[in-house]
Amino acid sequence: MLLKYAAGDMGDLAADSTVLFVPQFEKISGRTLKRLDEASSGAVTTLLKSAEFTGKEGEIAAVYHPHGFKSDRVILVGLGERKSLTADSFRRAAGNVSRFKGLTSSKKAVFHFEKVEREEYFQAAVEGCVLGSYRMLQFKTGEDRKNTDRLAEITCAVDSPRLVGRLKKAAERGRIFAEGQVLVRDLASTPSNHLTPRLLAARAQNLAKKHGFSCRVLDEKAIAKEKMGAFLAVARGAKEPPRFIILEYRGAPAGRRPVVLVGKGITFDTGGISLKPSLDMHEMKSDMSGAANVLATVVNAARLKIPQNVVGLIPATENMPSGTATKPGDIVTSRKGLTVEITNTDAEGRLILADGLDYASKFKPQAVIDIATLTGAALIVLGYSGAPIMGNHPGLLKRIKQAADATSEKVWEMPLWDDYRERKKSTIADLVNSFGRPAGTIMAGIFLESFIGDYPWAHVDIASVDLERSGKPYTPKGSTGFGARLLTQVLYRWKKL
């Protein structure tokens, strides 16, 4: 989709459709509504009287052939109440309109932002449009494969020429943020036979070349040389060999310590010998969403030219049951030297992250953030609404919360109390990897904490928010891609902790 920018009166821009974002109204008031009502011989009055369109969230109406407009139709999209307007109002409204036939059948559209001055609103509108119209067509054939959308060009427009520069910057940023999230959705929706650890590594290498960052891949031998015993314990059961992917983006002088991101890359989680029930097991193809988020965030950092150094670490493997698989009760030695009694092979994410978090120390990081579809219990704590976060550094956690406010990817901090640390011990090894049902999300965090180095650390558990089951304004059914905008925003606003 081509994005263009312009300034001018909303009636003066020629297009198939002109989209206007309208806050809720009770009577025809304000210049725009009055003018539209006149231009449509009272159609807006009719819409208001019939309550067909009053600017509520979710409402869309089209006015055809408005007099005095160079556009064939004006599409009104509801923003909801003016007093509770946020960037997400624009994201949701743009998401809603992005699937509206009148718009998708247009070739050229204008998004006119009337009296909007906030950059984050422009950005959010572009994000909503890209995210709302997302569809995964790669595995469809025939008629279903065809993308019937004609929308090829959107001109973002404001009244005043002095705003165009800011509009353009914000909209381009919105496109990058959203395309990162789309990359996560694509990868997470790709089934495990089409996205093995090796294929994920190849994809990372292609993206690195395209966007100008470095990508090194450790194969099974190199991983063994690094003594990543916890990671290898998970990989043992699979025929597909594991990969450890190292991404490095340089946006600052070499001396600047990097922010390191670690993402869980289980390309399929059967549970291993502690086999999962078959109901919904297919959803475990997206157990590499954390990895996809890390990859997308590094891509975003490169595209946005963020002036920081960023490292992405991705342990990638399948978790399979087989004659060579790790068995419950087995004890392994992690890269850090701590021994782990693997009491449940389905608690595999924390094992691969343990070695990833330890490896992160190599980079002398300013901070480390890991992201993972780690615990089913995350859904029990927060439902589908948000992601539990935890960590050892209030300043870093605050950054993540602030970023979450900006991107509307909700997070909530869990406590890491001393009481929990008592429960992680094994009778015969240093640690066990699973702890029963109470505080499952926190206990996973407590386990990870044992493997971190001397750095500020935060953990984001996205198991609760990774899949959308019904469809929201800018989140169609399927993989959500939650986390990519969040991490990008953290880096975008980064300053020394």
Shortest gap between Cβ of 389 and ligand BES (angstroms)?
Answer: 16
* Residues near Zn ion, by CB under 5 A: 266, 269, 287, 349
Query: Contacts with ligand BES: how many residues (CB under 6 A)?
Result: 16
Nearer to Mn ion, 269 or 449 (CB): 269
Instruction: Give the active site residue among 4, 276, 423, 424.
Output: 276
461: contact with Mn ion by CB under 5 A: no
376: contact with ligand BES by CB under 6 A: yes
Nearer to Mn ion, 207 or 235 (CB): 235
User: Token match 């160079």: residue?
Assistant: 70
Shortest gap between Cβ of 247 and ligand BES (angstroms)?
Answer: 22
347: contact with ligand BES by CB under 6 A: yes
d(CA 343, CA 253): 45
Shortest gap between Cβ of 348 and Zn ion (angstroms)?
Answer: 6
User: Token match 């902790």: residue?
Assistant: 497
Shortest gap between Cβ of 466 and ligand BES (angstroms)?
Answer: 6
269: contact with ligand BES by CB under 6 A: yes
Instruction: Give the active site residue among 99, 243, 285, 350.
Output: 350
Cβ pair 207, 199 in contact under 8 A = no
Out of 37, 172, 318, 348, the only residue in the binding site for ligand BES (CB under 6 A) is 348
Q: Residue 495 half-sphere exposure, CB side, CA atoms within 13 Å? A: 2
Determine whether 350 is an active site residue.
yes
For residue 254, give Cα distances in angstroms to 73, 260, 294, 308, 369.
Answer: 53, 14, 21, 10, 20
434: contact with ligand BES by CB under 6 A: yes
172: contact with Mn ion by CB under 5 A: no
Out of 127, 240, 346, 466, the only residue in the binding site for Mn ion (CB under 5 A) is 346
Query: Given the rule CB under 6 A, which of 71-79, 113-121, 373-381, 395-403 is the region that contacts ligand BES?
Result: 373-381
Nearer to ligand BES, 22 or 377 (CB): 377
Question: Encoding tokens for residue 200?
Answer: 């994920």
Residue type, 163: L
Question: Encoding tokens for residue 241?
Answer: 């060999």
Out of 47, 199, 463, 487, the only residue in the binding site for ligand BES (CB under 6 A) is 463
Out of 95, 349, 386, 456, the only residue in the binding site for ligand BES (CB under 6 A) is 349
287: contact with ligand BES by CB under 6 A: yes
Out of 59, 346, 409, 449, the only residue in the binding site for ligand BES (CB under 6 A) is 346
Out of 37, 120, 127, 269, the only residue in the binding site for Mn ion (CB under 5 A) is 269
Shortest gap between Cβ of 381 and Mn ion (angstroms)?
Answer: 17
Query: Given the rule CB under 5 A, which of 134-142, 221-229, 268-276, 427-435 is the region that contacts Mn ion?
Result: 268-276
Nearer to Zn ion, 318 or 341 (CB): 318
Sheet holding 2-7, edge to edge: 2-7, 153-158, 108-113, 15-23, 71-80, 60-64
Report the interface residues with ligand BES, using CB under 6 A: 269, 287, 344, 346-349, 373-377, 434, 440, 463, 466
Active site residues: 276, 350
Residues in the site for Mn ion, rule: CB under 5 A? 269, 346, 348
